[in-house]
Structure 1
Amino acid sequence: MYLGIDLGTSGLRALMTDAAGKPVASAEAQYDVQPPHPGWSEQDPGDWITALDQAMAQLQGSPGYSDICGIAVAGHMHGAVLLDGSDQVLRPCILWNDTRSAAEAAELDATAKVRDLSGNIVFPGFTAPKLLWVQRHEPEIFANTAKVLLPAAYLNLHLTGRHVADMSDSAGTSWLDVGARDWSEQLLEAGHMRRDQMPVLVEGSAAAGTLRPELAVRWGGGTDVTVAGGAGDNAAAACGTGVMSPGQGFVSLGTSGVVLTARDGFRPDPETAVHTFCHAIPDRWYQMGVMLSATDCMNWLGRITGQSPADLTAGLGEELQPPGPVTFMPYLSGERTPHNSASLRGGFQGLSIATTAEDLARAVMEGVCYGLRDCLEALRKTGAEIDSCLVIGGGSKSAYWVKLLATILDLPLQLPKDGEFGAALGAARLARLAVTGDDPAEVLTAPESAMTVAPDPLLRDGYEAGYAAFRRRAAKLT
C-alpha cells in the first residue's frame, strides 16, 4: 500500500492506493489561512501536523492500512517555513499567494544572472523574496533562521526527521539552478542565504528517508515505511494525470488557474512570465502559465451577491452562448502569467442598469477563460505545444464552463472519469516509485477519459474577437 498526501492551501488530503495504484481509501482535514494585513497570507505549520494526524486517524482500520510501505507529500509551493537550530518554527509560514515582497522580488529579478539560472522571473510569491522581506522587516527572526523549508519539505521533516526537499518544489524558490537541478551559490548569495540553510535535494521519485518510529507507533501502521521526495502540487498533479511527455498537458480550473505541459529539456523563457520548473522525475521539466484567481473569482462573486456559484450559473444551462455584454478582468489578487504584476486589479466593464447577477457570473467565467488563454499563448511563445489536454479542478464540474474554455482555448479538452487523478494520486505514485523502482512510464499514466469536449465551431470566431478585446483592455491596465 502507498500513501499520497496532498498538502493544500485550505486542507490536507490523504489517499491510500494498493500495489497496482488503485485508490482504496481517503481522508481529509481542513485548516485556515490568516491574512494579518491586505496582501498577506500566512499559515501555522502546526495546523498541517494536526491535519495529518486527523487524516491518519480516519484511515486507521481501512483495509491494508497496516501494509503502507511508502509515503509521499505533494505541497503548495513557494511557502517559507523558517526554523531555528532546534527545528522550531520561528513565525507563521508565508504562503504562495502572499504579495508583501513585491519590491524585494523586483530587486532580485533585476539582479544579473538570476533569471538565467533560475529559469524564471522572480515573482513576489516565490520564496527568495520572502526571505529578503524577513531580513528587512523581522531582522531577529532572519538572524535566527537555521533552515528554510517549503511546506512539503516541512512535512518531510516531520515524517523522517530529515531536512529534505524534491526538485520540483525547490524550483519555485529562486535559489535553485533549475537546469542543473542543484542549489545555486550565486542565487543564494543574491538572496542573502547560504547552502547550509537549504534542505538536501532528492528527486521526487527517490527515497528521502524512513518514517520515524514514533509516528509509526502513533499511527498504528508499518515500521519500515519509505518516504519519497514528493513534489510541488502541480508537478504531483502532472504525475496523477500522466502528463510526462512533450505535447501532453492539463488545464486546472481551481482556486488558481494553470495551463501546464511537460518538457523533455530545460527551455526557459522568463520574459513570457511562464514558470519553468523541474518535474518530479529525473531528466524532465514542465512549464506552466499561472493565473492567481480562477474559480476564486466565482467564489468572490458568490460572497458579495449572497448566492452560491451554482445558483449564479444555474440559468446558463449547458448550451454555450455567444460572448456576453459584460467583460470581467480576473485580476483580484494581481496576476502572474503574462503580466507579472502584484498590484494589477480586476473589474467589470460594460455594466448597465439591466445587468443581472447572471450576467456577472457569465462575465466571470469568460474572463477566467480569457486569462487561461493568455497562459496558453505564453506557453506557445516558449515553443511548447499541447496536443492532448485534460481539464481538472473544481470548475471542471461545470459543463458550461468546460465548453466555454474549450472554445476560447480552441482546444479539445478531455474530462477524466470520476475518480482520483490529482496531486494526492500523483504523490502516492511517487511513493510507489521510491519503494519499487518501477519504470515511471508504466506508473505515471493518464486517467481514463469520460468524454472529450470540442470547441464550438459556430462560436469560435465570436470568442476569438472577445479575446482580442480582452487583450486590449488588459494592455490598458498594465
Structure 2
Amino acid sequence: MNGSTILVVDVGTSALKAVLFGPDGSILASAVEPIATRHGMNGEHEQDVEGWWRALGKVTRTLPGAGAVASMAFSGSMQNLIALHGDGRPAAPAVLYSDQRLDADEVSGLAAKLPADYGRRIGNRPDGAHTIFRLMARQRYELPATDVFWAFGAKDALTFRLTGRRVIDPTVASTTGLMDFSSRRWDRDLLGLAGVDVASLPAIEPANGIVGRITAGAAAETGLPAGIPVFNGAGDAAAATWGAMADEPGAAYCYLGTTGWVAATVHSDDDMLPRDIYTLADPVRADCAIIISPFLTAGAAMDWLSATTGQTIEKLCKRAASHDEAPGKPLFLPYLGGERAPFQDRDVRGAFLGLEQTSDAGALALAVMEGIAFAVRHNLEAAELPRSLLTAIGGGVRHPLQQQILADVLDRDIRIPADSEATTAAGIMRMVAGKAGVKADAIAQDTIVKPRPQRVQRHIRRYEAYLSATSMARTLAAGLE
C-alpha cells in the first residue's frame, strides 16, 4: 500500500469526525457530523447506535476522496455498553460512560461482590464507570439478556458493521473491568460475575492490527470501497496520547473535548497495580501503559453556557475577550454532572461564585474558561505528571483566549498543534502508518503559548479559592437533593 491514503474516523461524544490523510500524513480533507445524546430524568445518557452508522455514511459520501481510500481506521469514546445483533445492528441504545442510573450505593453493593484482588487483576480500583457494573445490573438499562454481542467502544460497533468481525483494542478493553491487565485477556471469573460469555465479547487485538475488510453490503451503504482493510484503531484516550506525541514515557498532555483529561505514557509495571491514578493498557505495546486523570466537564461547560444564554460559543468567546483586559470576580466550578477526577463525587455540582450586577454573559464565559483551566491544574497536580511543556489538544482549546488562560493558570508554556481538533485522528494515523503505507512525516507548524507573568499571581490566588469552593460544594452536595 505504498503511497496510500487512509481515512480515520473518530466517533466522539458530540460528533463523528472523519479525516483523510495523504501518503505523507498530511490532512487532505475532513468532515464532521453531529451526534445527539439523550439525557433522561433518571440519569440516562444514551446514544442511537444506528445514528452513528448514518453519520458515518453521510461523511463518507460527502468527503472528497473518501470513495477511493486505500484503508480505514477508527477511534471513539470508551466505556460504553452497546448491545448488538449478529449483523452488527443495534439491539438497544448505547449506554454511555457518563450514564448515572446506578448510584454510589448501588455501585458499592456490586463492588462488594468482586474478588479481593480485582484491582490487581484489571489494573485499577473499582470505578463506577467500569462497564462490569452496568452488565451486573443490566436490567436497569432495559438491555436484552441473551442473544446479543457486546461492544464497549463506539468504534467497535462500526468496525463490526463494516467488516463482520468483532474486535476491541487493549485500551478500551482495560476500561471495562473485565480484562486481566497483565495477560490482556478477558478474565473468566469476572465474566462470570458480569453474566456474559466470552463468545459474546470481541477479540482483544492490537490497535495497529487489521480487523477485516469492508464487505460489499457495507460498501453499498457507505460509499466506501469494498475490500479495503479496516484497522482496529484505539479508544479516544490512546488516540489522543499518540496524537499529542506523548506515546513515549516522560511527556504529558491535556485533552479538552466535551469531557477532559490529563495523561502521560509510562513503562508498565504490574507490581504497581492498581495505581492511585487510572491506568490504561497501551494500545500497541505490552510494556507500556497510559496513566490518565479524567474529568467530566470541559467543553461541555461552554456548550451549556451557550444553550443557557442563547449565544453561540464564538460570540461568548468574543465577549469574554472584552473582559480579559480587566477580569472581574466570577469564579466557576465546572462540576455540571459530578466529578470523576482528581476526586470521585457523583453528587457534587457546579456553581458560579462572586457574581456582580455587571456579570454579563462575557464575564461568565471568561469564568468558565478559567474554571476549565483550574480543573486541568487540579488533575495535573493530583496525578503528579511531569512538569514540562504541555501539549493541549481538542476542540476545547481551539479559541486563543482559552489557550492563553490555560498557560496563565498553569504557569507553563502550552503547545497547541496546528490541527488540534484532528489530533485524535492523527494519533490513529501514527499507530497504523507503517502498515497502511503512510509515512507520517508531514511537519505541521505548532503554536507555543507562554504565560502572562502579570496574570500568574492572580490565578494562583484564585486557584486557592477554587479549591476551597470545591470543598464547600462537595459538603453542600448532600443538602441539594
Report if TM-score (shorter chain) is over 0.5. yes
Matched, 1:459 2:458: no
Matched, 1:399 2:400: yes
Which of 25-34 and 89-98 deviates more?
Answer: 25-34
Aligned to 1:427: 428
C-alpha deviation, 1:38, in angstroms = 4.1
C-alpha deviation, 1:388, in angstroms = 3.2
Task: State the distance in 1 between where 2:183 and 2:442 align.
Answer: 28
Aligned to 2:43: 39
For structure 1, list consecutive stretches of 5 or more residues without a partner in the other structure: none
Query: How many residues are paired up?
Result: 465
Aligned to 1:372: 376
Closer, same or farther: CA 214–344 of 1 in aligned 2, 3 Å: same
Contact 1:29-1:55 at 8 Å conserved across structures: yes
C-alpha deviation, 1:447, in angstroms = 6.2
Contact 2:161-2:218 at 8 Å conserved across structures: no
Task: State the distance in 1 between where 2:224 and 2:275 align.
Answer: 48
Among residues 467, 473, 476, which one is paired with 2:469 in the alignment? Answer: 473
Aligned to 1:359: 363
Closer, same or farther: CA 115–109 of 1 in aligned 2, 3 Å: farther
Task: State the distance in 1 between where 2:221 and 2:353 align.
Answer: 56
C-alpha deviation, 1:354, in angstroms = 4.2
Which of 29-38 and 2-11 deviates more?
Answer: 29-38
C-alpha deviation, 1:155, in angstroms = 0.9
Closer, same or farther: CA 65–21 of 1 in aligned 2, 3 Å: farther
C-alpha deviation, 1:217, in angstroms = 5.2
Among residues 7, 14, 22, which one is paired with 1:10 in the alignment? Answer: 14
Contact 2:150-2:202 at 8 Å conserved across structures: yes
SS of the aligned residue for 2:253 comes to strand
Task: State the distance in 1 between where 2:160 and 2:392 align.
Answer: 33
Among residues 104, 107, 112, which one is paired with 1:105 in the alignment? Answer: 107
Task: Please give the per-residue CA displacement for 1:346-405, whole angstroms capped at 9, x wherever unaligned.
Answer: 11222244433333222222211111111111221xxx4152321122232322221211
Kindly report which structure 2 residues correspond to 1:15-164, keeping only aligned pairs within 5 A, or say none.
15-59=19-63, 62-63=64-65, 65-66=67-68, 68-84=69-85, 87-103=88-104, 104-110=106-112, 111=114, 112-135=116-139, 138=142, 141-164=144-167
Task: Please give the per-residue CA displacement for 1:292-337, whole angstroms capped at 9, x wherever unaligned.
Answer: 1112112212222222333334244389668742221110011111
Aligned to 1:253: 256
Task: State the distance in 2 between where 1:323 and 1:246 align.
Answer: 38
C-alpha deviation, 1:76, in angstroms = 1.0
C-alpha deviation, 1:29, in angstroms = 2.5
Task: State the distance in 2 between where 1:130 and 1:246 align.
Answer: 33
One-letter amino acid of the structure 1 residue matched with residue 73 of structure 2: A
Task: State the distance in 1 between where 2:54 and 2:162 align.
Answer: 13
Aligned to 2:308: 304
SS of the aligned residue for 2:72 comes to strand
Task: State the distance in 1 between where 2:161 and 2:231 align.
Answer: 13
Closer, same or farther: CA 321–369 of 1 in aligned 2, 3 Å: farther
Task: State the distance in 2 between where 1:285 and 1:459 align.
Answer: 36
Contact 1:247-1:386 at 8 Å conserved across structures: no
Contact 2:322-2:362 at 8 Å conserved across structures: no
Task: State the distance in 2 between where 1:87 and 1:16 align.
Answer: 25
Task: State the distance in 2 between where 1:323 and 1:403 align.
Answer: 14
Task: State the distance in 2 between where 1:321 and 1:461 align.
Answer: 15
One-letter amino acid of the structure 2 residue matched with residue 251 of structure 1: C
For structure 2, list consecutive stretches of 5 or more residues without a partner in the other structure: 475-481
Task: Please give the per-residue CA displacement for 1:11-37, whole angstroms capped at 9, x wherever unaligned.
Answer: 222222222222222233333212233
Aligned to 2:390: 389
Contact 1:416-1:451 at 8 Å conserved across structures: yes
Closer, same or farther: CA 451–147 of 1 in aligned 2, 3 Å: closer
Kindly report which structure 2 residues correspond to 1:261-300, keeping only aligned pairs within 5 A, or say none.
261-266=264-269, 272=276, 274-283=277-286, 284-300=288-304
Aligned to 1:234: 237
Task: State the distance in 2 between where 1:217 and 1:413 align.
Answer: 44
One-letter amino acid of the structure 2 residue matched with residue 156 of structure 1: T
Closer, same or farther: CA 95–240 of 1 in aligned 2, 3 Å: same
C-alpha deviation, 1:195, in angstroms = 2.2
Task: State the distance in 1 between where 2:100 and 2:294 align.
Answer: 15
SS of the aligned residue for 2:251 comes to strand
One-letter amino acid of the structure 2 residue matched with residue 395 of structure 1: G
Contact 1:211-1:225 at 8 Å conserved across structures: yes
Contact 2:7-2:66 at 8 Å conserved across structures: no
C-alpha deviation, 1:179, in angstroms = 3.7
Task: Please give the per-residue CA displacement for 1:216-263, whole angstroms capped at 9, x wherever unaligned.
Answer: 455555444221111111211222232211222322222112212222
Closer, same or farther: CA 447–45 of 1 in aligned 2, 3 Å: farther
Closer, same or farther: CA 137–29 of 1 in aligned 2, 3 Å: closer
Contact 2:231-2:432 at 8 Å conserved across structures: yes
Contact 2:35-2:51 at 8 Å conserved across structures: yes
Contact 2:77-2:154 at 8 Å conserved across structures: yes
Task: State the distance in 2 between where 1:419 and 1:362 align.
Answer: 21
C-alpha deviation, 1:88, in angstroms = 4.8
Aligned to 1:170: 173
One-letter amino acid of the structure 2 residue matched with residue 116 of structure 1: R
SS of the aligned residue for 1:341 comes to coil
TM-score (norm 1): 0.88
Task: State the distance in 1 between where 2:443 and 2:322 align.
Answer: 24
One-letter amino acid of the structure 2 residue matched with residue 241 of structure 1: A
Task: State the distance in 2 between where 1:7 and 1:130 align.
Answer: 21
Which of 368-377 and 18-27 deviates more?
Answer: 18-27
Among residues 209, 212, 217, which one is paired with 2:215 in the alignment? Answer: 212
Closer, same or farther: CA 218–197 of 1 in aligned 2, 3 Å: closer
One-letter amino acid of the structure 1 residue matched with residue 71 of structure 2: G
Contact 2:61-2:223 at 8 Å conserved across structures: no
